[in-house]
Amino acid sequence: MVTRVPMIGRVANRYPALLALLAQLCAALLVGGAIVLAAQFSSWRPGGLAAGLLQGLLAASVSRWLGLASWWWWLNLGFVPALLLFSGAALPSWVFLLGFLLLLLGNWNSFGERVPLYLTGVRSRQQLAGLLVRQPAGFRFVDLGCGPAGTLLWLARRFPQAQFVGVETAPLPFAIAWLRALAQNNCRIRYENLWRTDLARFDVVYCFLSPAPMAALWAKAVAQMAGGAWLLSNSFEVPGVPADQQVELHDWRRSRLLLWRMPGACRA
């Protein structure tokens, strides 16, 4: 089991992009040093793509050691090789600017809210639907960080008497979700920070966030949600608060749904 300095773990939760950059710099220094030494003591010269792949492998390994989420590993793995591949392509400069803008618009909230874009899988949707059949027909459901709203709209079509709300602050996923929800009468999308969302209005609160905000979200849920309402988290636990129910999803991510029932009297 890998043991990391506690401070690094806290930085990984608060500023993952900085640690990802640190992983890239460390890998670049190691590969650069190895190439300089090889040039001094042998005639071996690695090709540019081979050096880029080695740098990517090292950056991904450092990312894992630093405790970053798995999607950062893949990003660090492919970043330099992708730059090398596209650097020789006859592409106009605006293509690279467009790619950067799309990445920024799709992950805008990863920096401030420490919540990357996770997409709920098919098995998660099916298990969510299996849990929601236990709710009264007109229940109210909110997805905190709904992304492009695929899961939200899938559920809204299956429970036409219920009311569904998605909140999102990443501009590109929000725009996609808002447009997709226009034709669904029982589903609305809001450009709203999850911390400003009033949870008291909902019977079921669903989230697929990251470990970083779960403790604060639990405190918010206990303060605002009615007794008997559900907080559902995909994969991520509330520190120190065992879930009332867990549903294993048996997917490649080893995901699970965790359900907490709010203490107190049930909503009338």
If pLDDT is split at 50, 70 and 90, which confidence band does 5 have?
very low
- Selection from 86-90, 179-183, 207-211 with the highest mean pLDDT: 179-183
CATH, domain range 122-261: 3.40.50.150
Are 165 and 190 spatial neighbours (Cβ–Cβ below 8 Å)?
yes
Which residue has 């697929």 as its token pair? 208
- CA–CA gap between residue 143 and residue 145 (Å, rounded): 6
Contact 207, 232 (CB under 8 A): yes
For the chain, what are the domain ranges? 6-90, 122-261
- pLDDT at residue number 73: 66
Residue ranges of alpha helices (H) inside the chain are 6-14, 16-41, 48-65, 70-87, 93-106, 109-112, 122-132, 150-158, 171-181, 214-224
Whether 156 contacts 129, CB under 8 Å: no
255 pLDDT above the threshold of 90? no
pLDDT in tens, 131-185: 999 999 999 999 998 888 989 999 999 999 999 999 998 888 888 899 999 999 9
- Tell me which residue has tokens 């109210």: 140
Least confident window among 158-162, 172-176, 205-209, 216-220: 172-176
Question: Residues 21-51: pLDDT tens digits?
Answer: 787 788 778 877 777 777 777 766 666 667 7
For residues 98-136, b (16+ Cβ closer than 10 Å) or e, as one string?
eeeeeeeebbbbbeebbbbbbebbebbbebbeebbeebe
The H or E element spanning position 145 is none
